[in-house]
Amino acid sequence: MNPKLTTEIVTRFQDKFKTQPLVLHSPGRINLIGEHTDYNEGFVFPAAINKGIVGAIQKAEKPYCTVIANDLDEEYEFSLNTIKPIANGQWRNFVVGVVGELQKRGIEVEPFNFVFGGDIPKGAGLSSSAALENSVVFGLNELFGLELSKKEMIEISQKAEHNYVGVRCGIMDQYASMFGEKDRALLLDCRTLKAKTYPLEFEDYQVMLINTNVSHNLVDAEYNDRRDVCEKVAKLLNVNFLRDATKAMLNSVKHQLSEDEYQKALYIIQENERVLKAGKMLEEKNVLGFGKLLFEAHYGAQHQFKISCKELDFLVDEARNNPHVIGARMMGGGFGGCTINFVKAEAVNAFSEDISKKYRKAFKRECSIYFVELSQGTHLTNN
Ligand code: GLA
């Protein structure tokens, strides 16, 4: 990760607290394919990236905790005796949420100081929140010798998001951020939490992210609504999760569902199939087949699961019309954030320029383009 950012965070910590911190890198993630399948106990295909959160943590001498969000230049002090969700608390809820979830499990920590900063643009759909939660839980685990496994840590991070932030997210982001491997993507079974790792060997193709720089309102409510629909259909089908549903089963209850609910459940069934197919395509080095799956996934996200937006659709349409792009789709929870594109290496510059110009013209705003490397999950670092 960014060495300049690491130095900045460590310096801020030392200036403020006059002690030497433990330093953590906790990455964000991309997802090749498989959206909203994680909370259906299905399949996803994420990878940790070389952008994320840098955290510096150490025990406090005072009887309370102090946390500094370096990028925002905001400071928050809190007592360990009064942990609860904070209304409009934003980043604060990720930190106190982790502490609260530890306490819920009977795990007590002592006062600590924490400074963090990141190089993931907020709202880009690259999971800065999971990276932050993981950095806190990993840091506390080290600092107080809690002996939590990585699996326990990501469950705590996820629950912090459910109970303090109010998003009933799946496990993909926390898993990818914690278990990421350098140069590899993780095809994760969200039921068993077992992943098969794949090198991303696309030879002539490059992964390019395009950020719409929009994040539409009510994203959290829309997200929870999608989860409710999935749970409703699963219940009707008498299965615990849509992971266990087939198209034939779904068709047998079609008359009890609205067209909208039917399409959403169908999307989940098909998206799970696509993730598994994507793994096979990579094994067979069938790059074009892999790319086609991405376009199909976007179609499903746009028309069936309805988690896209006009800016994302525009970027994917442009990608589809460009012969040098073999696959593209919206990435993450939806309603804004980034698209992921697989672009012929020699055409990357031309495509970047072309799409930036067209996006500016269509929406009177800029898109941002990122190239990322696949990286190691949350870890301590010698700064
Ligand atoms: C968000 C959630 C994840 C996952 C994705 C959509 O990133 O945090 O758990 O559901 O959306 O795939």
Ligand 1 probe mutation, 31, 38, 122, most atoms within 8 A of CB: 38
Q: Which of 15, 71, 119, 173 is catalytic?
A: 173
Residues 6+ apart with CB under 8 A from 280: none
Would you state the pLDDT for residue 122? 81
Would you state the pLDDT for residue 113? 98
E strands, the chain, are: 22-31, 43-44, 46-59, 65-69, 74-78, 112-118, 184-189, 194-199, 205-215, 325-330, 336-344, 368-370, 379-381
Distance between CA atoms of residues 358 and 311, nearest Å: 11
| 38 among known catalytic residues | no
Atom of ligand 1 nearest to the CA of 36: 12
Would you state the pLDDT for residue 215? 84
- How far are the Cα atoms of 31, 60, 119, 355 from residue 209, in angstroms, in the given order? 11, 39, 15, 12
CA of 22 to the centre of ligand 1 (A): 29
Distance between CA atoms of residues 34 and 226, nearest Å: 15
Distance between CA atoms of residues 136 and 94, nearest Å: 8
Q: Are strands 205-215 and 368-370 parallel, antiparallel or unpaired?
A: antiparallel
CA of 160 to the centre of ligand 1 (A): 14
Nearest CA owner, ligand 1 atom 8: 169
Would you state the pLDDT for residue 305? 98
Would you state the pLDDT for residue 376? 97
The structure's pTM equals 0.97
Question: Which stretches of the chain score pLDDT less than 50?
Answer: none
Q: Write out pLDDT tens, residues 29-71.
A: 999 999 999 999 999 999 999 999 999 999 999 999 999 999 9
